């Protein structure tokens, strides 16, 4: 409990230092508020536009979580299939490498053209961005089974499916955790890029609208809400990942 309180205290101190530094830059530089608003002005915008920010944040969060869940599920399923089937590795791995070579963000206008300005295009953007990191990290972990465990599986004449379930998957959980960490970091960027390219709702759309109208304080407020959502999502996933990879997990 003491460690948790100390962690919260350090976070609050870092926040206070960041706000003080921000305000110091505003005072020292003397830049106009429409270029760099101070923390107080942004806080006022947060309070004044709370309803609009919450409504757009809800749209962003739903798309973010839906795309994240679908991308992780698809990545895990693909990695398991690749590990289980040599034929799948022969056919799919070159396609995955080729697909990763194409910048996903460059496909955003095409995806928006095909799926429209609604939620589906944002969900697909998130899925595409996180799919390869999850698939690659989990597959690498599945294929790095230590030699003694491979010998034990052969000695016990375990089928490929049993070896995958009882040996490869538990051993690959730390690698999957690394892929999940990357997914949680990339997903907010992906959904905002999708909203920038084409959307009528969401925090990305609100940032573009505020920028076009010269409402820099609202743009910063939207950015802060997005940062808060991203940090919340990261720490939630970090708790799940720690439970997933703790050493005594396999003993329960």
Dihedral angle over CA of 77, 174, 183, 140, nearest 10: -60
Across the range 19-47, mean pLDDT stands at 86
Given phi > 0 = left and psi -120 to 50 = alpha, else beta, which region is 87? Answer: alpha
Residues in the chain, overall count: 252
**Which of 50, 65, 62, 69 minimizes the C-alpha distance to 202?**
62
> 183 phi and psi, to 5 degrees?
-60, -45
Model's pTM, two decimal places? 0.86
Q: Distance from first CA to last CA of the chain, Å, rounded?
A: 24
**pLDDT tens digits for range 156-199:** 777 888 888 888 999 999 999 999 999 999 999 899 999 998 88
pLDDT band at 4 (very low <50, low <70, confident <90, very high): low
Lowest mean pLDDT among 13-17, 105-109, 166-170, 229-233: 13-17
């Amino acid at each position: 409990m003491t460690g948790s309180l100390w962690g919260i205290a350090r976070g609050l101190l870092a926040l206070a230092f960041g706000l003080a530094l921000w305000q110091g830059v505003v005072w020292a530089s003397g830049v106009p508020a429409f270029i760099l608003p101070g923390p107080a002005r942004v806080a006022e915008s947060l309070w004044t536009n709370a309803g609009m920010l919450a409504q757009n944040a809800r749209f962003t969060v739903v798309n973010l979580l839906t795309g994240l869940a679908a991308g992780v599920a698809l990545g895990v399923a693909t990695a398991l299939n690749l590990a289980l089937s040599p034929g799948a590795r022969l056919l799919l791995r070159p396609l995955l490498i080729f697909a990763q070579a194409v910048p996903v963000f460059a496909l955003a206008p095409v995806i928006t053209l095909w799926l429209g300005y609604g939620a589906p295009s944002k969900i697909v953007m998130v899925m595409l961005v996180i799919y390869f990191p999850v698939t690659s990290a989990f597959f690498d972990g599945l294929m790095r089974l230590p030699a003694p465990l491979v010998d034990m599986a052969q000695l016990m004449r375990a089928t490929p499916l049993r070896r995958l379930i009882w040996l490869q998957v538990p051993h690959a959980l730390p690698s999957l955790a690394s892929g999940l960490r990357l997914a949680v970091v990339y997903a907010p960027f992906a959904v905002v890029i999708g909203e920038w390219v084409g959307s009528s709702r969401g925090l990305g759309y609100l940032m573009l609208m505020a920028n076009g109208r010269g409402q820099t304080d609202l743009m910063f407020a939207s950015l802060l809400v997005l940062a808060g959502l991203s940090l919340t999502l990261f720490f939630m996933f970090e708790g799940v990942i720690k439970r997933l990879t703790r050493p005594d997990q396999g003993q329960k």
